[in-house]
Structure 1
Amino acid sequence: MVMDTAISNGTDSMVIEATTMGRGSHVSTVAEAGRDDFDAVRWERDIAPSHFRLRIESFYKLTKMLSEGGIQCFTSKVFEASGYQWEFSMYPNGVGLNKGHISVFLCIQNTSALPLGDKVNKFHYLKQECGISKFVPRCEFDDAANGYLVDDTCVFGVEVFVIHSKFVEQRLSPLVKVGETYTWKVSGFSNMNKVCYSDEFTAASFKWKVTLYPLGVGSKRPDGLNLGLYLTLVDPGATPNALLVYFMLFIRNQKYGKHQVGQFCCCYSSESLSWGWESFMPLADLRDLSNGFIVNDCIIVEAHIKNVSIIQ
């Protein structure tokens, strides 16, 4: 599939063209950019995407992981086209009221270089994102006979029609089911007053640690009201461009089995090595011994890494 984007120089709307590549054919869809519904017109073309391609080699698993992690879309890395920075977002289950469709959007990053209004183009500092809410129906996309999805692999593409552009490609490797759990017994919890780290552990060939803020997280000082808990990637130099990770963190209930649980689907990179929650749970609930989270001044933290995909 290709999403072609042109910036017009008059009062015309910015145009997005979506091209399917099933069974060797190339059927284009063109419509006014934006999240509103529209009337689409289709025709054939023979040109493959030339500026950005997103290859997903495990589409159904990705869709399930995003859904279970509370995430609506996958957003690509930033790529450059004609001096502008862009991101491509794909919603496998549609956006807003457009369930049953795949939705695709293009977002511009450096809006300071854009004009102030619509008379030059549709991308401006107040409108950074344009796209197609009903790109293709899921029933049509999922039907193998149409050629969109082959062996759970599909390709989305973007073309930005500005004067010059550079081609960038991104690839999501097949999702690896990890299913590894690390358990950390934290003793002397009542005396802890600053951030602490678990031992390193290995999952999916990468090294991790759990970061715990016993008095909460704050840029200047912790709030003293909430426990902060994060999963941190260790040794970013040994890491590829990025990792898409689905994980769960637990504070185990040692008496009643009603654990405090958080789950997250996120991208780790050299710029984002730690993901989690500033307020994983209220400290008042944690310290209440009748709740069963603290026994003999010890809490038990668990990190369960479910799935990992390498983004290249």
Structure 2
Amino acid sequence: MESTPPTEAFAELRFYVYNKKENKYFTIQDVEVKRFNALRMVWGLLKVLSYDTFTNPENGFIFEGGECEFGVDVLVAPPLTNWEILSFDEKLSPPKFSWNLKNFSELKEDVYTSNKYPMGGKEWVLKLYPKGNSRADGKYLSLYVHLADSETLKSDEKNFKQGHVRVLNPLGSNHVEVQSSCWYKESSRGWGWDHFLSIANLRKTYLDKEDALNVEIEFKVVSATKYSPII
């Protein structure tokens, strides 16, 4: 099956004018990628060198009886197959997810993962290290926000999340709160804090009467990335 020839091309343009006196090229590059198609088949630069500079033989651009030398590099980008559409959702319902870890003082595993919760078209989980991860030296609670393992991202897909992560005080005030603003992609599916809260302070203040720890995340903004075929 024969492929359809492209109807347009995107290219970066770099122009050269040879200077024989200095034995090098004067180079100028357009700052924008140019779109070539049936409606616009020619692109260029209106101003490269002033006429007086170019025509003065002492400057080296004209030599050997009026000769001059020009060049151009055309760097063609691969054809686009999809438009990336990035939208931000600030009206999230419900915006909060709460996680209750019972018998916190008796937790034995290195890391615990919450149930999945949907937000902004994706599913997320919290991951908590009750004795801290390898960078916390056993002195701090480590806490992270992850995309759920069931979520798959395209190689160039990105998701933005902004919100607050809290460890709640049983008395109803003076919660430990950290703001989070970060991009998630396939190579970086989790984001968080090695030193979220000292374990000494946690045990003193943030466990309720039943030895439970309550963690909460409140999303403010979540992005959604969609891909639309270019027709």
Q: Same fold (TM over 0.5)?
A: yes
Distance change in 2, residues 1:245/1:163 (3 Å): same
Q: Distance in 2 between matches of 1:233 and 1:6?
A: 42
Q: Which is bigger in relative contact order (C-alpha 8 A, separation at least 6)? A: 2
Distance change in 2, residues 1:163/1:237 (3 Å): same
Q: Unmatched 5+ residue regions in structure 2?
A: 1-11, 17-23, 36-71, 227-231
Name the counterpart of 2:88. 175
Amino acid at match of 1:301: V
How high is the sequence identity, in percent, across the aligned residues?
Answer: 21
Deviations 1:52-111 (A, max 9, x none): xxxxxxxxxxxxxxxxxxxxxxxxxxxxxxxxxxxxxxxxxxxxxxxxxxxxxxxxxxxx
Residues 1:185 and 2:100 are matched in the alignment: yes
2:152 corresponds, among 232, 237, 240, to: 237
1:277 corresponds, among 177, 193, 204, to: 193
Name the counterpart of 1:164. 75
1:225 corresponds, among 127, 136, 139, to: 139
Distance change in 2, residues 1:297/1:241 (3 Å): same
Q: Aligned-pair distance for 1:12? A: 8.1
Q: Distance in 2 between matches of 1:171 and 1:237?
A: 17
Distance change in 2, residues 1:49/1:164 (3 Å): closer
Name the counterpart of 1:300. 214
TM-score, length of structure 2 as denominator length: 0.60
Residues 1:200 and 2:113 are matched in the alignment: no
Residue pair 1:249, 1:302 contacting (<8 A) in 2 also: yes
Q: Unmatched 5+ residue regions in structure 1?
A: 20-47, 51-160
Q: Distance in 2 between matches of 1:49 and 1:218?
A: 50
Q: Aligned-pair distance for 1:162? A: 6.5
Q: Distance in 1 between matches of 2:222 and 2:188?
A: 15
Q: Aligned-pair distance for 1:189? A: 0.8
* 1:134-145 alignment, distance < 5 Å: none
Q: Aligned-pair distance for 1:205? A: 2.7
Q: Distance in 1 between matches of 2:218 and 2:178?
A: 10
Residues 1:254 and 2:170 are matched in the alignment: yes
Deviations 1:157-183 (A, max 9, x none): xxxx96524256874522111251111
Distance change in 2, residues 1:255/1:7 (3 Å): farther
Provide the aligned length of Structure 1 versus Structure 2: 165
2:132 corresponds, among 202, 206, 216, to: 216
Q: Distance in 1 between matches of 2:176 and 2:13?
A: 45
Q: Which has the larger radius of gyration?
A: 2
Residue pair 1:172, 1:309 contacting (<8 A) in 2 also: no
Q: Distance in 2 between matches of 1:5 and 1:246?
A: 39
Q: Distance in 2 between matches of 1:172 and 1:16?
A: 26
Distance change in 2, residues 1:297/1:11 (3 Å): farther
Q: Aligned-pair distance for 1:285? A: 1.1
Distance change in 2, residues 1:241/1:224 (3 Å): same
Distance change in 2, residues 1:294/1:163 (3 Å): same
Name the counterpart of 2:9. none
